[in-house]
């Protein structure tokens, strides 16, 4: 065999080996992607805490209470926010019982979803629940099952499980969540909060004045003349 032919043979062999490496890499990548998809579809949902039945003042979408109340409180909250969770856990029921249920305060929830993707997904899920008139139940379900920020706690699978737990239709809810049809609503809520100067959660807009949770009740009392 001549030297030129030998070089051609080596070159051809090298090209063939490179093709094999590329093919093997593609196969390995495909296997890994498939494995991830399978894992995501089969991994356990985890424990879901069940919401207890509760009596609320009249609700209308993302609002609760007397629409003609002299004091309007807009709560800007991120469903992943630890401070929001603590407010829900320790103070929200007091706000509802002492002020909203009396007809003196109208409470509005505005999802200010800035911490991460799970915040955004949870907010969209809450809007999906609102389609069936169950926003506040779902709102409570999310906080009841809160487990930190960006931990995978608000995966689509768990968000659907939350809906099923309060009696919503799983298939309809899943279709709503997967459609992302409330994406613009979540974006608009963020923009609205920023236009008012909201930069942290929870922040409360009380008759046009921004306050934090430690000032909320005193501000309401001031406006009510208590």
Helical pair 117-131 and 170-179, crossing angle rounded to 10 deg:
130
If 0-12 CB within 10 Å is exposed, 13-18 middle and 19+ buried, where does residue 16 land? exposed
The residue count of the chain comes to: 226
Q: What is the pLDDT of residue 14?
A: 67
Flag the least confident range among 31-40, 77-86, 106-115, 164-173. Answer: 31-40
Topology of 59-224 in CATH?
A: Glutaredoxin (3.40.30)
Task: Give the tokens for residue 16.
Answer: 């063939």
Residue 160, phi then psi, degrees to nearest 5 = -70, -40
Residue 30 three-state SS: helix
Q: What is the pLDDT of residue 26?
A: 55
- At residue 82, does pLDDT exceed 50? yes
Residue 19, phi then psi, degrees to nearest 5 = -65, -40
Residue 212, phi then psi, degrees to nearest 5 = -95, 175
- At residue 39, does pLDDT exceed 50? no
- At residue 19, does pLDDT exceed 70? no
DSSP for 159-200 reads HHHHHHHTT--HHHHHHHHHHTTTHHHHHHHHHHHHHHT--S
Residue 77 three-state SS: strand
pLDDT (tens digit per residue) in 174-219: 999 999 999 999 999 999 999 999 999 999 999 999 999 999 999 9
Q: Mean pLDDT throughout 69-96? A: 98
Q: Are 118 and 80 in contact (CB under 8 A)?
A: yes
Strand (E) or helix (H) holding 75: strand 71-77
| CA distance linking residue 22 with residue 162, whole number of Å | 44
Q: What single DSSP character describes residue 21?
A: H
Spell out the domain ranges in the chain: 1-43, 59-224
Q: What is the pLDDT of residue 36?
A: 36
Q: What is the pLDDT of residue 34?
A: 42
Q: Are 203 and 210 in contact (CB under 8 A)?
A: yes
| CA distance linking residue 11 with residue 174, whole number of Å | 54
């Amino acid at each position: 065999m001549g030297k030129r032919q030998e070089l051609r043979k080596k070159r051809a062999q090298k090209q063939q080996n490179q093709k094999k490496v590329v093919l093997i890499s593609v196969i390995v990548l495909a296997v890994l992607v498939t494995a991830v998809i399978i894992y995501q579809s089969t991994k356990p949902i985890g424990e879901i805490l069940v919401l207890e039945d509760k009596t609320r003042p009249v609700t209308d979408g993302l609002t609760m209470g007397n629409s003609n109340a002299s004091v309007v409180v807009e709560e800007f909250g991120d469903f992943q926010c630890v401070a929001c969770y603590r407010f829900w856990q320790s103070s929200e029921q007091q706000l509802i019982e002492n002020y909203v249920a009396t007809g003196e305060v109208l409470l509005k929830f505005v999802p200010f979803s800035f911490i991460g993707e799970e915040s955004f997904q949870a907010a969209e899920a809450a809007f999906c629940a609102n389609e069936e008139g169950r926003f506040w139940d779902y709102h409570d379900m999310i906080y009841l099952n809160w487990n930190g920020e960006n931990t995978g706690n608000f995966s689509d699978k768990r968000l659907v499980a939350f809906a099923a737990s309060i009696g919503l239709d799983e298939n309809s809810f899943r279709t709503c969540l997967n459609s992302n049809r409330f994406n613009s609503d979540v974006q608009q809520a963020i923009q609205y909060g920023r236009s008012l100067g909201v930069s942290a959660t929870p922040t409360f807009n009380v008759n046009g004045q921004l306050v934090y949770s430690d000032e909320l009740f005193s501000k309401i009392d001031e406006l009510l003349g208590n």
